[in-house]
Amino acid sequence: MSKVTECARALGEAIVDSEEYKNMQITEEAAMSDPAVAEAMGRYMELKELIGNLMSQEDPDPELIAQYGREMDEMQQTMNSMPVVDAMTDSRQKFSELMNQVNKILEFIITGEVQQGGGCSGNCSGCAGCH
């Protein structure tokens, strides 16, 4: 194994051993084992699929798409009001921040540059998502 792959393996193990990762795993498991979350998530995913199916039709019904969209918003609000989902979202954010720090360090070591601000570099590989 090369030095680079050995270091990558060590980094991966350190990340998996981090408090951020462990906490994310715990909160995700708690959220996914909650029947109310599972029900709301199931309905949300069902509505998303229904909208996708409608959008693939030649002449989709805009009123039905809007209705499903409103229901999706309601399911999202329902999930967001659940403390277990809030804890999961918070832990995911903290893990994402850790990964962003790791990526910035790697970028600096490789390029010698530090990206200023929170702007988009156009490269989504290390991004936590557009906000």
60-116 pLDDT, tens digit per residue, is 999 999 999 999 999 999 999 999 999 999 999 999 999 999 999 999 999 988 776
Residues 95 and 89: their CA atoms lie apart, in Å, by 10
HSE toward the beta carbon, residue 47, CA cutoff 13 A: 19
For residue 33, give the DSSP letter.
Answer: T
Residues 36 and 74: their CA atoms lie apart, in Å, by 14
Q: pTM above the 0.85 mark? A: no
Other C-beta atoms lying within 10 Å of the C-beta of residue 73: 12
Closest CA to 20 of 98, 82, 75: 98
18-59 pLDDT, tens digit per residue, is 999 999 999 999 999 999 999 999 999 999 999 999 999 999
